[in-house]
Chains A and B, each alone.
Chain A
């Protein structure tokens, strides 16, 4: 669903790196067997695997409502949506594997707390309206971040992102439609929608990462055409697209400083609480512990199943040999 630029990058130099940079500058796609700087490989591996982890952990907050969805149509749509996220995780792990890591290694890094996933999933889904808000806002922010990745210099990632973005756009429309239905419903439903917007708005703005001046990794990622737009630029684009959608729903955006600036043509928004961002990132969100424990439990409780499948497959191979 979303990946945060938490990667560290070493400086590049030398004739070979210049040739690599020339290929990137010429918008050539870098493929798995091509030579690439070690820092480029590591940067991508970390970014793609974080993205995959985010898809997998992201199944939990929405999965929280599958058994309680308020109509059969919504239940089926939500189950299908969460299934899509699992599918995204699968292609992304496969894309990351082309960079020389295995899915097992990546999953271990997640479960041991060495790898990050998007912090947005450390917020709880308290009501059904959160399912609408996640589709509309979280997937909306993810799309803003991910559309440029469809042109990422690394071929397998770019191709995975094309398919993922198509599905995310569908999810976003579905989420907005949930919100619209709530906003045209009873007073209680509309209040539920407003409460969800109040809780998700600011965390969604944080999804674009720290302000440009404080972002440590953007330079090399931009040079390698992994990242094509700045955090603040994408955040502004998201705000400009989303505020009119909130108004159409009849909902108030929880930002007292929000106003349209005629001169720039952009919505001006108030300051983001970066303390909250850092706190949740560091493990202080409502659900950080629960998310990781749920993943660990599924992994541990599934160990005997995976062992059985391997043992059976090995035996079949021996019989065939």
Chain B
């Protein structure tokens, strides 16, 4: 077995790993659909969206490697960190669930991520700003795709409405964490995340209204992903994801 790597996490490295992990873990969840989607066209779309996210993760791991300066590469970060070192939002690791779970989560995350990368395209760090502009365009497509499905499901049949509402109820506790502020020392490089909330609230309200769905009250929002405090599902995901890589220390693939 390959040993776990230590990561020297400056606030910048931690920020970059967090965003990379969001994209990787969510991309992985989408890749779990391959061969099992409800419609052939959705096989293609889910794979496309997953590929965008995995591509984003790879670019962000490369930034993190440069910022850390310890000679790590994308695969070291993806395959050789333990669960507690993963910095992804909890929303990303929630199980794939049914098609409603997948699309509701995707829409809520994509609306957020489009706003986040749009804001990050103004970063004082030029490379990050360039990446962010491209990522924002990808997320805009994901918003359209997943948003359209949320409306179809919410306003489709009684069953699809019930499933979409149940999916929304299940994912709601994980939304607040998206708006937690990044380290203040990163001001200028990283957008003011809490400031994205009103715009997101407005966009989500409009979407849910069209879909005839309602966001439930959340008495106990869940957070802790950025600090490495995960639920029970990430460990299983990583066991599957990392097993082969870790079983052959030092091998090239």
Contacts and interface: CB of A to CB of B under 8 A. Distances in A.
A222 interface: no
Interface stretch (B104-112, B152-160, B193-201, B218-226): B152-160
A70 B78 CA distance: 10
B38 A72 contact: no
Q: Which 9 A-B pairs have the closest CB atoms?
A: A302-B38, A308-B156, A308-B160, A83-B47, A305-B38, A63-B35, A86-B43, A70-B253, A63-B34
Contact of B38 (A75, A294, A306, A312): A306
B51 interface: yes
5 contacts: A59-B35, A83-B51, A301-B38, A305-B38, A308-B160
Interface residues of B, number: 49
Interface string B32-61: 101111111111100110110011011001
B50 A79 contact: yes
A210 B62 CA distance: 51
A90 B41 CA distance: 8
B81 to A, nearest CB: 13
A298 B51 contact: no
B245 interface: yes
A220 B40 CA distance: 33
Interface stretch (B64-72, B131-139, B236-244): B236-244
B41 A308 contact: no
Interface in A61-116: 63, 66-76, 79-80, 82-83, 86-87, 89-90, 93, 103
B120 to A, nearest CB: 22
B1 interface: no
Which of A71, A74, A185 has the most chain B CB atoms inside 10 A of its CB? Answer: A71
A76 B35 contact: no
Which of B38, B41, B160 has the most chain A CB atoms inside 10 A of its CB? Answer: B38
A302 B99 contact: yes
A72 B74 contact: yes
Contact of B240 (A67, A306, A315): A67
A301 B98 contact: yes
Interface in A36-68: 56, 59-60, 63, 66-68
A70 B200 CA distance: 36
B75 A71 contact: yes
Contacts of B245: 70-71
B31 interface: yes
A15 interface: no
A80 B35 contact: no
A248 interface: no
A128 interface: yes
Overall SS of chain B's interface: helix
A313 B148 CA distance: 11
Interface of A: 56, 59-60, 63, 66-76, 79-80, 82-83, 86-87, 89-90, 93, 103, 128, 181, 185-186, 188-189, 294, 297-299, 301-309, 311-313, 315
A302 B37 contact: yes
Nearest to A90: B40
Nearest to B46: A83
B251 interface: yes
A181 B253 contact: yes
B253 A74 contact: yes
Given A72-B24, A74-B253, A86-B40, 7 more contacts: A75-B31, A76-B58, A83-B34, A83-B43, A83-B51, A87-B44, A308-B159
Interface string B5-36: 00000000000000000001000100110111
A79 B47 contact: yes
Given A59-B35, A304-B159, A80 B51 contact: yes
B229 interface: no
Contacts of B57: 72
B160 A305 contact: yes
B160 A128 contact: no
Contact of A76 (B37, B43, B54, B152): B54
Contact of A90 (B44, B51, B244): B44
A96 B8 CA distance: 57
